[in-house]
Structure 1
Amino acid sequence: MLTQQDAFSIGIVIHDFVFGGSERIAIRLANYWAQQGHPVVIFAGASEGEMQNLLDPAVHLVIAPQPLCRSASSMTQLARKAAQYFQKNPVKACFVPGNYHWPVAYYLGKLPVKVRPVILTQISSPIYKPGRAAWAQKIFNMRMRILLKKSDRLIALDCTTAQQANKLFRRSVTEVIPLPALCGSLPAPRMPDAASLNILAAGRLTHAKGFDLLIDAFASVSRRYPSATLTICGAGPDHQALQDLAVRKGVQDKVRLTGYVTDIRPYLDEARLFVLSSRREGYGAVVLEALAAGRQVITTDCTPAARDFVACCEAVHVVPVGDSSALAQAMIAVLGKPAPDSQTLADAVKPFAIDCGGQAYLLLMSSLLARARKH
Structure 2
Amino acid sequence: MFSIGLVIHDFVFGGSERIAIRLANHWAQQGFSVVLFAGSERGEMRGLLDPQVRLVRAPSAISRTHFSMWQVAEKAAAYFRQHPVAACFVPGNYHWPVAYKLGCLPLEVRPVILTQISSPIYKPGRNAWAQKFFNIRMRFLLRNTDRLVALDRTTAAQADALFRRSVAEAIPLPALPASLPAPKAVESGNYAILAAGRLTHAKGFDLLLKAFASVARVYPAASLTVCGAGPDHQALLDQARSEGLQDQVTLTGYVADIGPYLDKARLFVLSSRREGYGAVILEALATGRQVITTACTPAADDFASHPEAVRVVPVEDADALAQAMITALAQPAPDAQGLADLVQPFSITCGGQMYLSLMSSLLCRRGAVKAVS
Q: TM-score, normalised by structure 1?
A: 0.98
- Show the counterpart of 2:250: 256
Deviation, structure 1 residue 190: 1.3
- Show the counterpart of 2:319: 325
User: Which runs of structure 1 show a deviation greater than 2 angstroms over 4 or more consecutive aligned residues?
Assistant: none
Q: Distance in 1 between matches of 2:359 and 2:367?
A: 12
Deviation, structure 1 residue 148: 0.4
Conservation of the 8 A alpha-carbon contact between 1:153 and 1:174: yes
Deviation, structure 1 residue 185: 1.8
Q: Distance in 2 between matches of 1:74 and 1:238?
A: 23
Check 1:141–1:175 CA distance in 2 against 1; reply closer, same or farther (3 A cut). Answer: same
- Show the counterpart of 2:59: 65
Match of 1:226 among 220, 224, 228: 220
- Show the counterpart of 2:92: 98
Aligned to 1:333, the other structure's residue is in SS state helix
Deviations for 1:332-357, whole angstroms, at most 9, x for unmatched residues? 00000000101110000000000000
Q: Distance in 1 between matches of 2:182 and 2:189?
A: 21
Match of 2:348 among 350, 354, 359: 354
Match of 1:365 among 352, 359, 362: 359
The 5 A counterparts of 1:125-204 are 125-204=119-198
- Show the counterpart of 1:3: none
- Show the counterpart of 1:123: 117
What stretches of structure 1 of length at least 5 have no aligned partner? 1-6
Q: Distance in 1 between matches of 2:345 and 2:197?
A: 23
- Show the counterpart of 2:338: 344
Deviations for 1:108-167, whole angstroms, at most 9, x for unmatched residues? 001011100000000000000000010000000000000001000000000110000000
2:17 is the alignment partner of 1:23: yes
2:72 is the alignment partner of 1:74: no
- Show the counterpart of 2:292: 298
- Show the counterpart of 1:281: 275
Deviation, structure 1 residue 372: 1.2
- Show the counterpart of 1:267: 261
Conservation of the 8 A alpha-carbon contact between 1:193 and 1:270: no
Aligned to 1:215, the other structure's residue is in SS state helix
Q: Distance in 1 between matches of 2:328 and 2:368?
A: 56
Deviation, structure 1 residue 192: 1.0
Deviations for 1:251-296, whole angstroms, at most 9, x for unmatched residues? 1100000110010010000000100000000000000000000000
Aligned to 1:168, the other structure's residue is in SS state helix
Identity of aligned residues (%): 72
Please tell me the residue identity of whatever aligns with 2:203.
K
What is the RMSD of the two structures over their aligned residues, measured on CA atoms? 0.8
